[in-house]
Structure formats: C-alpha cells, structure tokens
Amino acid sequence: MTGERLIDTTIYDVIVAGLGPAGLTACLYAARDGLKVLGLDPAGCGGKLLTIDNLENYPGETLIKGPELAAKLEKQIQTLPVKIAYEQVQEVTDIDAAVKSVQTRRHTYRGRSLILATGCRERTLGLEAENELRGRGVSYCAVCDGRFYKDKDVLVIGGGNSAFAASTYLSRYVKSVKQVLRRDVARANKIEVERVLQNPKVQVFYNLLPQAFLQEKIDGEEQFCGMRFCRRTDGQTVDLQADGVFIMAGEEPNSGFLQNEATSLLLDRHNCVQTDRDLKTVVPGVFAAGDLRDTNLRQVVTAAADGALAAYKAQEYLSSLN
C-alpha cells in the first residue's frame, strides 16, 4: 500500500488531522500566522457540527444550525491559503523526526508539526446483531436519520445532553419517543431535561439496561422491532416495541490511526490523546485539540478554543526551531 501512495512534495508547517470545530479553528489561526497549512478530513468541513440541529450556547449566536455554523467556518477558511484534502489519516510515521509523515490511502503528506483533531464517534452498545441492523432500524444520528421515522415510534438510548437533544428533535417528526436511561438520574443539563419532560410525545424510562435487539423478518430480511432491557431495581425483563432506535450512549475517540507501536505513546488507557495544558503531547511538534483529548467538557466552543491554542503553540514550536 505504501508504495502506491503519491508523495506530496510540499513540506507543510502544520498538518491538521480532522476538520471539525477544533481542526477548522486550528487551520484558521495557523494560516493567519502565515504558516503553510494542510487540513485533512474524509467527510469535509464541519465534523460533528453537521449532526447538530440547534446550537444555542455558542457565543454570539442565540440560535444557529450546526451545518450553518460549519458552512460559515468553511467559508472563512476558504479566504485563507489553506489546502484542504478530503482524505482519512490512516497512519502517522516518522513521528519523532523533524519532518513527520501522515499517510492516507492515496497520499503521503509531510509536515513539521501536527495538530490531531479527529474528534470522537458514538459508542455502540456492543450487543449481538447491532452492526447488522445499522441502517435497518439502528441509528446513531437523530439529525441524519430522524426524518426517515416520520409518524413512527422510536427509542432513544442515553441520559446525556446528546440523548435528550435527540429526543426533542425527533419529537418533531415521529409519533412517539421512548427515551431509556441506564440510571435513575439524567446526566444532561437542566434545560435539555425539562424540554423532554414537558414534551407530550416523549416518555422517559429509568434504570433499564439494554440486553438485546428484537427482530422480525420482513420480506426475507431481519428488521429491528424493539429492544429488550433488564430493570436494574428488580432484574425483571422489559420489552419496548419501536420502529427504530437512536443510540446516544456516549462517545469514544477516533484514534485508531494512532493505535500502533510507533504512536500509541500518545494515548491514555481510554485511547484519548494525552496533552498538557498547552495541548502538547509527549512528542515535540505534535499537538491535540478538541474531543480527541481526554477533556471534562466536549462542546463546540471548547473545541474551537482548543484549536486556537494548538495553532498558537504549533507556531511557537516552529519558531523555536529557527
């Protein structure tokens, strides 16, 4: 595979892996500092912004759609000399060298510093048939797939902000929402919880642990038709029927490209990238920003702030080499 890759002859000052809020902000700040910047993301610009319906806590915006904010950031980047490539990072090599290499399926890119901002993805439940039912009743994105369930009954699994926001969003289209929490208390903020509790189309169930997907055969194919749970308080089995389920059970870092002998030193036991307060990793010239880090708060605004600081520290690092 390596022999088939084309080598980009440019030596970039900064290569940014991931173009969500953290990566886009890093590109913005680095380019404005006069650095030669490459941004990489197979999905284009926006990251998780593209899955957010209404964003109400971003400074300066009372209410803005996630994709709308992503488009604004992309437009701002387009005014600057930033190269964007819609490619996924597969591996980072020569990480200890003065010029580091980033491998995608098609290219080898080289840069004097790296900002890792590949974010995180939704955690699966790990139940049997989960992967087979993905797209056939099992979803991880309400904004992406909610409209497919118009006037139908759905489940939402999770007790955090994303789960409660998903229930509120889905209630616009579906017939009913049953939101299931593993514990007896929600982790979401009060505003998100109150919206759901006051919504007549949403019913909240507590203390239910997911056990299995229920299936029925339709036109020769197994289709999702509900879920089986175990009630924590008494061990009783509870079956909830539904046409679809939206799993919002937390997140895990997109760090698979770092989980090898050469770069695993960047990761903690949860496979998040470890940094100090300046977003420096243990390898000089390698920084991390946004949800890929082990951070106490995963928000658009904190990711953007990380991107700005990572770019500033990358510029500082590069200046120290001269």
Q: What is the pLDDT of residues 205-240, one digit of tens each?
A: 999 999 999 999 888 888 899 999 999 999 999 999
| Residue type (1 letter), 284 | P
Q: What are the tens digits of pLDDT across the range 152-163?
A: 999 999 999 989
pLDDT value for 251: 86
The two structure tokens encoding residue 184: 């007896």
pLDDT of 205 = 97
User: Token digits for 227?
Assistant: 């879920």
d(CA 81, CA 296): 33
Note the pLDDT of residue 269. Answer: 93
pLDDT at position 257 over 90? yes
Is it the case that residue 3 has pLDDT exceeding 80? Answer: no
Give which of 151, 156, 152 is closest to 178, Cα–Cα. Answer: 156
Nearest to 22 by CA among 193, 253, 235: 253
Which of 124, 134, 121 is closest to 247 using CA atoms?
124
User: Cβ distance 48 to 253 under 8 Å?
Assistant: no
Residue 101, number of CB atoms within 10 A of its CB: 18
Q: What is the pLDDT of residue 304?
A: 96
Considering the chain, what is the average pLDDT of its residues?
A: 94
What does the pLDDT read at residue 91? Answer: 96
Rounded distance between C-alpha atoms, residue 178 and residue 48, angstroms: 24
Could you tell me whether strands 107-111 and 100-103 are parallel, antiparallel, or unpaired per DSSP bridges? Answer: antiparallel
Residue percentage of the chain with pLDDT more than 70:
99
pLDDT at position 61 over 80: yes
Joined together, the tokens standing for residue 12 give 């970039």
What's the mean pLDDT in 14-33?
A: 97
What pTM does this model have? Answer: 0.81
Dig out the tokens for 94 from the structure: 């020569």
Kindly tell me if the per-residue pLDDT of 192 is higher than 50.
yes
- Compute the Cα dihedral for 138, 136, 256, 86 and give only its sign: negative
Q: What percent of the chain has pLDDT over 90?
A: 83
- Whether 297 shows a pLDDT value over 90: the answer reads no
Residue bearing tokens 């928000």:
299
The pLDDT confidence band at residue 4, using thresholds 50, 70 and 90, is confident
Mean pLDDT over 161-170 rounds to 94
Q: How much is the pLDDT for 17?
A: 98
Lowest mean pLDDT among 15-19, 24-28, 139-143: 139-143
Local confidence band at 165 (pLDDT 50, 70, 90 cut-offs): very high
- Which helix H or strand E contains 193, and what residues bound it? helix 190-197
DSSP3 helix / strand / coil % (the chain, rounded to 5):
30, 30, 40
- Residue 75 phi/psi, 5° resolution? -60, -40
At residue 2, the pLDDT reads 46
Q: Convert the pLDDT of each residue in 106-123 to its tens digit.
A: 999 999 999 999 999 889
Q: Which of 291, 288, 304, 251 is nearest to 58 (CA)?
A: 304
